[in-house]
Copies of this chain bind each other. A is one copy, B any other.
Amino acid sequence: MQRRRDERIMSMEKKMTIKEIAKLSGVSPTAVSFVLNGKNGVSELTRQKVLSVIEMTNFVPNAASKRLTMKKSFNVALIYPVSASPFTDMFYCEIAAGLTEYLTENKYNVVFVPIKAPSLTEVPDIIKIQDADGAIFLQGVDKLLLDKLDEMDFPYIFIDIHENDTKKIHVSLDSEKLVYEAARYFISHGHEKLAFLGSDWLPGYYIRCFNGYQKALGESGLGIMPGWIQTGANDEEGVYRCMERILSSPDMPTAVCCMSDMQAIQGIRYCQEKGFHVPEDLSFIGIDDIVLSRYTTPPLTTLTYDKPGMGKLAGELLLKKIDGEERNSHIITEFGVAERKSVMDLRNGRSTS
């Protein structure tokens, strides 16, 4: 008899609702809700009754409904310009991986929102329609938009912010130190003529990187020759033009500091196409450790740190912020060196390994 009833319940194809469960359990929807959410206020007896019905029917509360009543979307928007697309840029891809994993584990969806316009000043649709509880910006965004979001009290944080506006919460790298350490690495391997290959379309980023370069050289009393500093490495073509100038500099450098692994990799390519040998003729070091760097020839020596961890950390900060707890920004200042084959050790005439 009992058995038959169970079967009837189990075979019900009708979509279950909390009311149905309540009816089947002989209790009120409230009681079911309480059981579902582990709140107390229900007797052990009812809890068991409800639990068994839930078990049998495989009931799970409807997401849309939950969203509506709780006024929470359980979505987080990941907003990025084309220059920082996780699908194009391997650096941001790794970060997005860590972020997505963390948020998924915490029952949030990550919604990828590319910015197509050159500059986003309008509140993105997903926020307007209240379909995100918070946002993560990659590489910063227009202040105008931030003002609007602030006015709405909408929680957001940044990853890899390239400005010195420390008022906003962000997870970033200490780019100055990154390039500084890259340069130090060269210097500790006997290099004294260091060129700088970078881009300046993100001015804040450029300045920080350049400062790191200059600081390292200054500390060691090394000079810079005309033509060694190139800032047009915005794309492959730009890198090529920059490298052309560096290579034709009257006093050829022995090493090149870069603002990203991609710049280093493209720089190496250019050298090789022109018949130069890396690292024998010229050494390179990157500062990202993107996966590509392992597979180039020579594999790229580069600085390394936990990129998925940055994504995860950003997720944590944002979730805390959504819950009303403020956390501080986090700037990564500790890096490892992935020693591969793109740096010549001038002290003994071999490539490092």
Contacts and interface: CB of A to CB of B under 8 A. Distances in A.
Interface of A: 15, 58, 60-68, 71, 73, 75, 85-88, 93-94, 96-97, 100-101, 104, 109-114, 125, 128-131, 265, 269, 272, 291-292, 295-298
A129 B60 contact: yes
A105 to B, nearest CB: 10
B129 A62 contact: yes
Contact of A114 (B73, B101, B265): B101
Majority SS of interface residues in chain A?
mixed
Contact of A87 (B61, B94, B269): B94
Contacts of A88: 97
Given A88-B97, A94-B87, A297-B272, A114 B109 contact: no
Contacts of A265: 295
A110 B110 CA distance: 8
A211 B237 CA distance: 41
Contacts of A94: 87
A341 to B, nearest CB: 11
Contacts of A130: 15, 62-64
Given A64-B64, A110-B111, 6 more contacts: A60-B128, A63-B130, A87-B100, A109-B109, A272-B297, A297-B297
- Give the most central of A86, A129, A292, A295: most B CB within 10 Å: A295
Contacts of A110: 111-112
Contacts of A295: 265, 269, 292, 295-296
Contacts of A111: 109-111
